[in-house]
Chains A and B, each alone.
Chain A
Amino acid sequence: MTSLPSPLDSPTLPPSPTYLRRWGWKRPSVLPGFGLTMGFTLFWLSLIVLIPLGGMILKTATLGWDAFFNAISTPRVLAALRLSIGGALIAAIINAVFGSIIAWVLVRYRFPGRRLADALVDIPFALPTAVAGIALTTLFAQNGWLGAPLDKLGIQVAYTPLGVIVALIFVGLPFVVRTVQPVLADLDPEIEEAALCLRASRWQTIRRVILPSLFPALVTGTALAFARAVGEYGSVIFIAGNLPMVSEIAPLLIVIKLEEFSYAEATAIGTVMLSFAFLMLLALNGLQRWSRRYEEA
C-alpha cells in the first residue's frame, strides 16, 4: 500500500476537566462489594499478619544494631542457621532429582498402582509435621525398619544432621513433583515428534527439548521446597537429636531462647528468618514471571 497521512490524526480533543482523571488506584467497575471485601481483607490481614509481624520487626529495631548483631553472630546461632539453610538446600537438590523422576514416571508411564502413587505424593503436605517427625524418627532409629539395615552398613540417620536432611526431603517432596507434573503433562507431544522428525535421538530430545521446557518449573518447585524446608520445625526436631552446634536447627533455637526468656535473641533470629522468607517469596515471584516468559499473552 502506498503510505498515506493518517486521516485519523486528531481533530483536537474537546477540553474536559475529567479527561485526565481516569482511575487513581482502582479501576471503576459495575460489580459490587469492593469496599466491603477489600476492607475486610485489609483489616484481617493487618490484624493477623501485618501488626504481629510488624511488632516483631519493631522489637528488633529497639534492640539496636549492636545487640542484634551480637545476638545472631554467636557460634551457636550461626551453626543453627547454617544447618537450617544448608540442610534445606541439600534436601531441595535431592528433591529436584527424585521429584523430577517421580513426576516423569507419573505423567509418562502407565503401570499398576500409578494413581495410588500419585495420591501418596501429597502425604507430606497433609500429614501433620509432628506425626511425620515421630514416624521418621522411629523408622530411622537404630532398631527401626530402615534404621537397622542402614546401621549394619555403618550409616546413622536418626539423631544426626543426616536425619535433619531426611526430614527436610520429606516435607519438600510434594512441592517439586506438583510443580513439574502439570508442566510435563501439558508439554505438547508434537514438539517431541517434531524433534524426532528432525532426527534427534531420544536422549537429545530429552536434553535439548524437554528439559529446557521443564527447567523453569523445576527451579520454581525446588525453590518452594527450599523455602518450606528452611523454616521447618515439627518434622525435624524429633529426628535431629538437637545437639547444639551439630544438629540444632534455627527454629528450634528460637524456641529454646524463648524458654530461656531471652526474647531479644529469639526476636533477632526470627527477624533473620523472616527476612530470608520474604526474599525467597520475592525471588519466587520473579521466578514465576520468568518461567512464563514464553507463554502467549
Chain B
Amino acid sequence: MDITVSGLIKGFGSFTALHGVDLDIHNGELMAILGPSGSGKTTLLRLLAGLEQPDAGTIRFGAKDVGGNLPGDRDVGFVFQHYALFRHMSVFENVAFGLRVRPRKTRPPEAEIRKRVNDLLNLVQVDWLTNRYPSQLSGGQRQRVALARALAIEPQVLLLDEPFGALDAKVRRELRRWLRDLHRRLGMTTVFVTHDQEEALDLADRVVVMGQGRVEQIGAPQELYDAPANAFVYRFLGETNELQASLHAGRVRVQNAPIAEAARIDLSGAIKEADGTLFVRPHLLALTPDPTGVATVTHVSLVGAMLRVEVETHDGQNLHVEIPRGPSIDLVPRPGERVSLMVRGGLFVAA
C-alpha cells in the first residue's frame, strides 16, 4: 500500500506540531521517522493511524483519501510506545480482541480465531506465554504481543511508535534484528518512529528526518549520513565537529588556512564569499604528530575498533577525531602531544 501525505498541518491549542508535511511511502517499504522529541514525529504517525485529525492536508492510502476514516476503518496496525496492552486480558485475548469485536457478519468462527491467534503468537515467538497477563511479561515480550495484536486484523500498513524506546540496550538490538526479518517475511508497508538515529539508520529502507514540525530530509540511510541536506540533519545524525570557517573564491578557509583541494566539501548552495560554519564528522578529520601543530591532544579512548581522540585547538575549540585502530599501539597519540589537523570532507553552511 503506497501512502501519500501532502500539506499536513496539525496544531494543539497554540502549539503547532506539524507545519505542512509532504511525504511518500512506497509499498512494502520499511520507513523510519526520525527526530528529536517535539519534532512532531509521533503526531505524524498518529495522523497516519487516524488517531488524530489533521487541521489541513490529505493522507492517501493507495488512491483512497482516508482523511475522514476512523482508525478502525483504515486497515492499519498500530503498536503504541508503551504497548497499551489490555491489562485485564491474557496474551491470547489481547491478540484475539481485534477479531472478536468484529460485527457478527465478518467475525471469523471461534476455531479460526484460535488458529489465527496461535499462528501469530508463533510468528512473534511468544506462543509459550499464551495464558499470561501483560503484567507478567518482560518489556520485550510485551512488545512482541503488541505487534501480534496489531497484525491480527491483517492490516495493510503497520505503524510503530518508538518500538524499542522502553527496552534495555541488549533486548533492543535483538528485537531490531527480529523486526527487520519479520518485515522481510511479511513485506508489509511499515513505518516506525524513533529518536535513536542508530536505530533508524540500521533498520530502515528510507528515513524521514524531522525537526520542529517539518521534514528536513528524506533519504536512504547512507545518503543522509554522507550528504546531509542542512546543519540540522548533520547535527542530528552522528557526531559532528563545528568549525568557524569562511568561504573565499570558492575555497573554504578555517582560521585563514585554505582547506586542501582533495577534501570533499559540500557548499550546500552557499555563494562565493561568506562566513559560516564547517561541519566535519570525526572520521573526516585526520591528525599527524607535529610539534608546531595547532592542536593539543587532551584525551584518548582506546576501546573498540576506533581510536577516539579529543583535541583542543590553540584558540580553545574542542574537537573529536576518530581514527581506525591499527594492529599496534605505538602510533597512538598521547595526551599533551601537539598535532596538526587535516579536514578531509564536510558541509559548509553560510551564517
Residues of A within 8 A of B (CB): 1-2, 4-8, 10, 13-14, 16, 18-19, 21-23, 27-28, 30
Contact = CB atoms under 8 A, between A and B. Distances in A.
B55 A16 contact: yes
24 contacts: A1-B242, A2-B244, A4-B231, A4-B277, A5-B351, A7-B216, A8-B211, A8-B216, A10-B19, A13-B19, A14-B9, A16-B7, A16-B9, A18-B9, A18-B55, A18-B56, A19-B9, A22-B12, A22-B13, A23-B13, A27-B12, A30-B52, A30-B70, A30-B71
A16 B351 contact: no
Given A1-B242, A22-B11, A8 B20 contact: no
Interface string B4-42: 000101011100000110000000000000000000000
A22 B55 contact: yes
Interface string B45-62: 000001111011000000
Interface residues of B, number: 28
Interface string B229-241: 0111000000000
B212 A28 contact: no
A22 B9 CA distance: 10
Contact of A4 (B11, B51, B351): B351
A1 B239 CA distance: 12
Contacts of B55: 16, 18-19, 21-22
B242 A7 contact: no
Given A10-B19, A13-B19, A22-B13, A4 B349 contact: yes
Given A13-B20, A30-B70, A8 B50 contact: no
Interface of B: 7, 9, 11-13, 19-20, 50-53, 55-56, 70-71, 211-212, 214, 216, 230-232, 242-244, 277, 349, 351
A141 to B, nearest CB: 52
A8 B214 contact: yes
Contacts of B244: 2
Contacts of B50: 30
Contacts of B56: 14, 16, 18-19
Contact of A7 (B9, B11, B70, B231): B231
Contacts of A1: 242
Majority SS of interface residues in chain A?
loop
A14 B18 CA distance: 12
Contacts of A4: 231, 242, 277, 349, 351
A19 B11 CA distance: 8
Contacts of B242: 1-2, 4
Contacts of B212: 8
Contacts of A30: 50-52, 70-71
**Max chain A CB contacts within 10 Å: which of B50, B55, B212, B351?**
B55
A195 to B, nearest CB: 34
Contacts of A13: 9, 19-20
Contacts of A14: 7, 9, 20, 56
A9 to B, nearest CB: 10
A16 B351 CA distance: 31
Contacts of B20: 13-14
A13 B11 CA distance: 13
B11 A8 contact: no
B230 A7 contact: yes
A4 B233 CA distance: 13
A235 B101 CA distance: 52
B51 A7 contact: no
- Give the 7 A-B CB pairs with smallest separation, nearest first: A16-B56, A7-B230, A22-B11, A18-B56, A28-B53, A7-B231, A2-B242
A18 B55 CA distance: 6
A21 B214 CA distance: 20
Contacts of A5: 351
A22 B51 CA distance: 15
A10 B20 CA distance: 11
Given A22-B12, A27-B12, 16 more contacts: A2-B243, A4-B231, A4-B277, A7-B231, A7-B349, A8-B212, A8-B214, A8-B216, A13-B9, A13-B20, A14-B9, A16-B55, A19-B55, A22-B13, A23-B13, A30-B71
A164 B300 CA distance: 79
B339 to A, nearest CB: 21
B2 to A, nearest CB: 23
A7 B269 CA distance: 13
Contacts of A10: 19, 214
Nearest to A16: B56
A28 B349 CA distance: 41
Contacts of A6: 232
A256 B212 CA distance: 67
Contacts of B351: 4-5
Contacts of A28: 52-53
Contacts of B11: 19, 22
Nearest to B211: A8
B212 to A, nearest CB: 5
A27 B13 CA distance: 9
A108 to B, nearest CB: 30
A7 B9 CA distance: 20
A148 B140 CA distance: 69
Contacts of B13: 22-23
A24 to B, nearest CB: 11
